[in-house]
Amino acid sequence: MSPLRLGVLAYPGCFASEVFGVPDLLAMATHVAAAQGSPQPAYETSVISPRRRVVASGGSVLDVSAMRPVDVLVVPGFELSPTLDLDAALANLGPEVASIRSQAASGNAVVSICVGAFLVAEAGLLDGREATTSWLFADRFARRYADVRLRQESLVVTDRGVTTTAAFSAMYDFALQLIREHDGPRVARSTARIALVDDAPAMTCPPSPRSST
pLDDT in tens, 49-71: 999 999 999 999 999 999 999 99
Q: What domains appear along the chain, each with residue ranges and CATH number?
A: 4-195 (3.40.50.880)
Q: What is the pLDDT of residue 202?
A: 61
Provide the pLDDT for residue 201. Answer: 67
3-state helix, strand, coil in the chain (%, to 5): 40, 20, 40
pLDDT in the model for residue 82: 85
The helix/strand/coil state of 135 is helix
The upper half-sphere exposure of residue 76, i.e. CA atoms within 13 Å in the direction of its Cβ, equals: 28
Q: How far apart are the C-alpha atoms of 18 and 145, rounded to whole Å?
A: 23
Tens digit of each residue's pLDDT (9 = 90 or more) over 157-168 = 999 999 999 989
Check whether 153 has a pLDDT greater than 90. yes
pLDDT (mean) for 79-94: 93
Q: What percent of the chain has pLDDT over 70?
A: 93
Q: How far apart are CA 126 and CA 72, in angstroms?
A: 16
**Is the per-residue pLDDT at 99 higher than 80?**
yes
Mean pLDDT of 188-211: 71
Q: Say which range, 3-7, 119-123, 206-210, has the weakest mean pLDDT.
A: 206-210
52 CB-contact burial (10 Å; exposed 0-12 / middle 13-18 / buried 19+): exposed
Average pLDDT, stretch 10-30? 97
